[in-house]
Structure 1
C-alpha cells in the first residue's frame, strides 16, 4: 500500500484495503458486482485483485501458475487486468455427488470429502485461505472479496470461511447485494441482517440492489424504508443488463439463444447432473446464426445439426444417467441420419469403448462400457492434467487456444487420428475418418474465432458471420462497469467505507 494517496472526491481513486461483497442468496450478483468493481478500480489506475475464499462450482479455469480456480475468479482477474492465479480462489469444491465434492486447495486437488467431512476440515483450510489473501493484499491496493451463497445460512456459521467467518478473520467491511428480479428484495436484505450477529451486522456498510427494471421513482419509498429500518444506506440500484457475455460461475445461463430465421445451425448440449465447464459453449450461445439448446431431463433430445457432449465431474455416473434417460439411442439415431457430434473432456471419454476407475476417484471403483463410438479406452488417474494449451486443428489448420482439466488417460487406435496438434508437440483427441465425430480434451474449443469458424463450417453452417468471444467479453465488462459506476453513489461509498479527504479513516476496516 502506498504511504500516501491522492486527494480525490471519487471513491475509486481513494479507497485502499479490502472490500467484501456478500449476497442474500446464490446468484444474487456477487460475481458480476466484483467483476464490475474490479474493472472500475482498474480503469481508475488502481492495483486491484479479486479473491474468493471458498467456491463451489463445476466451471473452473487453469491459472498462470498451473492450478485450478473457479471460472468466475478468472473472469474477475481479467476485469482487473490480471492473469488468473490460484491465490484468487484458494478453496474450490467441485461436487461429484449431491453430498460430496473434490476439495482443491490453492489450485491442487487434495481429496474427496462428503459435506460433514469437509465441514470438519474447514479450520484446517482457513490458514491456506488467509495465506493466499495476505499475498494478494501485500501486492495490491484493493482486494475485492466475493462471498459464497449467503451469510444467512446460520447452520453453516460455525467454522465458516466463506462469508462472515472470513470477514471476521480478515477484519474487513461488507457490501450486501440482493436480486430484486427474484422478488422479495427487502425481505432478503432485512432477513439476512437479522440472521447475523451484532459484530457481523456492523460489518455491513450498505446495500446494493441488483437487476432492477422499471421506474426507479417507484422503488424510492422502499429504499427510504430500508435505510430507516436498518440504519444502513442503499449505495446503488443496478439495472438489469441483458445480453452480457460473462463466464458463468456455475449455473446454466438464464438467457438461451432465441430461434430466429438467421439461426440456421441447431446445436444441442445434453445437460447431465455433473456437467462441468459449460462456459465452453458461450461462443455458440452468442453466435447470431446458432441456436443453442441445453437439453434437460424432462424431454427427449431434440433434433439437431450438432450434438456436443460436455465435460463432466463424474463421467461414469453421468453416462449411466444419459442411458437411463434413453438418450443413447437418440445419439445413435442422430449419427445414423448424418448428424455431427463432438465430445469435450468427459464427453470425449464417454465416446470410447470403456471407462475405468480403478481407484474410485469419481465413485465406486470399477469399469463401465462407453458408448463405443470411437476405438479407445480411458483410465482415471490420481494426478489431474492441468495446462493452458494452444495449437491448431489438424484438419484445416485453424488456431485453437484453451485449457485442459482432466484426470483421465485415454489410449487406443482412434487416437492415431488426432483432432488437435498442440504447440507443445502433443496430439490431442480424435478426428473420426468418417467425418461425423470429433473428440478433444481441450476446453475453450470454440473460443478462438478461427477454430469457431472452422468447426461451424464442419457442422454445416454456410456463410458464417465471424464473432470474437474475447472482444465480446471485454465489451461486456466495460458495459457492466459503466452501468455500475453510474448507479453507485461515490459520496455514499466514501462515507460508508470510511474514506475522507483522499485517505481511509482510522476506523476503516482493512
Structure 2
C-alpha cells in the first residue's frame, strides 16, 4: 500500500515544486516507486501528457525526476489565467470551463471528487506519493471548499510538512504565523517544517530553528541552502523568468502579460554563448538583438495589444530592418501575421485584429484545442526534434509555403510553420524544439553562435545534484517515516 505526504508552503514561491522534484529523485534513487501529485495548480506554462491532456509543467518535471511519464492524474485541476479576474479550468487534462474567480469558488467542491480519483489511481501504482500544495494554507479566507491545501489533505487523510522561505525574510513569522491562523484541526495535520533557500552558513540559523520548533510545536526537518543550479531546471512560475547573462549572442524576449509555455527559453538560457534579455513592460526592445523570440500566450489578442502598447511593434520593425532575426512560437507566431480572426469570441468579443504584418499569414481562432506530443524534422538541416503542440487556431497564408518543419513520420508527414522571403522572420506552433541539441546548434549557428550544451543530460545531472543536496540537508528518513498509508 502506498504512503503519501503533502508539502505545503508558508507562502507562494517558497520552492515547493523544486523540493518535490528533488525528493522524487532522492527517493527514486533509494529504490522507491514515486509519483508526484498536485491537486490544483495555477499556471499558463503547461505540459502535454502521453494520455493526451495537459498539466502544470512543474508536475511534468517532477514526473521526470520520479522516472515516470507525465500523466494527467498528476495535476487533475489546472487553472490557466486568461484575464485579471478569470481563468480556463482544466480537469483531468481537458477543458472544463472558463470561470471568473468568484464562480470558480462555487465550483471548487465538485472538483474534489476528480482530484481524489486521480490521487488514488496514482497511489495504486506507487510506494510513495509526494503531494504539492498551492500558495499557502494560511490563506484561511480560501479554506471553504479548498482542494489545494488543507481541504485536500483532510479529504485524503494525509500528513503535511510546511516549508518556509528564509530568502524573503521573516521565516520564523511565516511558520509560527501559519500555526497561529490555522484552525486547530488543520494545524494538527502539520507534522514538521523545513526552511528553504538559506544563503550562507546554515549554522547561523541554529537558534532560529530551535525557536521556530518551540513556538510552533512542529518538528524541524532541516535547513536547505540555496541550490545554485536551480536556474538550469525548467521553470513553471512566471516569477522565475529572468534574464541570463552569457555570451555575445543576444536573444531578446518581450515578457507578454499572459506569457505561456515559456519553457522554450530554458535550453537557450543554459547555453554559455547566449545571453537572454527578458524585456519588461516599459522597456524598449534593444535594437542590437540577434534574435527576438516572441513566446506563447494564453490570450494572443490581448497580448498583441499589450505588445503594441509598449511600442514594441515599432522596435521590432526596426530590428528587422537592421537584419535581426525574429521567431514567434505559438501565440507569438500568430501575432506576426497579417490578421487574427476571432469570429466566435473565444478570446473575448468577436473581432478581427491586425497582426504585426511580418509574415503573410492569417490565423482563425477555433474552439478546438490541439494537444499533441510531436516528432518533427528541421527541413533545412534534417535534424530530428521532439516537442509538443498546445494551441487553438489554424494558420494559413502564402508564407506557409516556406514551412521549415516537417511533423510526423513518412506516412503522415505534414509541414509546419512559416517564414518570410529573407528567412529571418519565422514562426511555428511547435514548443520545446530547442531542447533538441542538433536543432539548437543549427539554429544558433545562423545567429553566429556556437552551441556547446547537452541539454537533456544536463537536466538529469541537476536533478541528481538536487537529490544529493536534499539528502545532505534534510532528514529524509524522518520525512519518509512521517508519510502515512492511503
- 1:95 matched to 2:42? The reply is no
Aligned to 1:128: 114
Aligned to 1:317: 302
Aligned to 1:256: 243
1:429 to 412, 417, 421: 417
Aligned to 1:308: 293
User: Within 2, Cα distance between the matches of 1:152 and 1:85?
Assistant: 29
SS at match of 1:307: strand
Which is further off, 486-495 or 341-350? 486-495
SS at match of 1:112: strand
Aligned to 2:273: 289
SS at match of 1:243: helix
Q: Deviations over 1:75-134 (max 9, x none)?
A: 000000000000000011110101111111111112211101111111111111111111
Aligned to 1:48: 34
Aligned to 2:372: 387
SS at match of 2:84: coil
Residues 494 and 144 of structure 1, relative CA distance in 2, 3 Å threshold: closer
In the TM superposition, what is the alpha-carbon distance from 1:255 to its structure 2 partner?
5.1
Residues 254 and 235 of structure 1, relative CA distance in 2, 3 Å threshold: farther
- 1:239 matched to 2:225? The reply is yes
Mapped contact 1:252–1:278 kept (Cα < 8 A): no
- Map 1:260-409; keep pairs closer than 5 Å: 263-303=247-287, 304-409=289-394
In the TM superposition, what is the alpha-carbon distance from 1:144 to its structure 2 partner?
0.6
SS at match of 2:430: coil
SS at match of 2:386: strand
Q: Deviations over 1:458-493 (max 9, x none)?
A: 2232xx142122111111111111000111124543
Residues 449 and 227 of structure 1, relative CA distance in 2, 3 Å threshold: same
- 1:108 matched to 2:108? The reply is no
- 1:117 matched to 2:103? The reply is yes
Q: State the number of aligned residues.
A: 481
Q: Deviations over 1:191-223 (max 9, x none)?
A: 111121111111111111001122222211111
2:61 to 65, 69, 75: 75
User: Within 2, Cα distance between the matches of 1:371 and 1:119?
Assistant: 38
SS at match of 2:461: helix
Mapped contact 1:418–1:430 kept (Cα < 8 A): yes
- Compute the RMSD of aligned alpha carbons: 1.3
User: Within 2, Cα distance between the matches of 1:305 and 1:253?
Assistant: 23
Aligned to 1:9: none
Unaligned runs of 5+ in 2: none
User: Within 2, Cα distance between the matches of 1:434 and 1:75?
Assistant: 37
User: Within 1, Cα distance between the matches of 2:241 and 2:120?
Assistant: 35
* TM-score for the superposition, normalised by structure 2: 0.97
Mapped contact 1:237–1:488 kept (Cα < 8 A): yes
User: Within 1, Cα distance between the matches of 2:459 and 2:291?
Assistant: 25
Mapped contact 2:440–2:451 kept (Cα < 8 A): no
SS at match of 2:433: coil
SS at match of 2:176: helix
Residues 433 and 278 of structure 1, relative CA distance in 2, 3 Å threshold: same
Aligned to 2:443: 455
User: Within 2, Cα distance between the matches of 1:221 and 1:491?
Assistant: 23
Mapped contact 1:345–1:442 kept (Cα < 8 A): yes
Mapped contact 1:54–1:92 kept (Cα < 8 A): yes
- 1:57 matched to 2:31? The reply is no
Residues 95 and 275 of structure 1, relative CA distance in 2, 3 Å threshold: same
Aligned to 2:72: 86
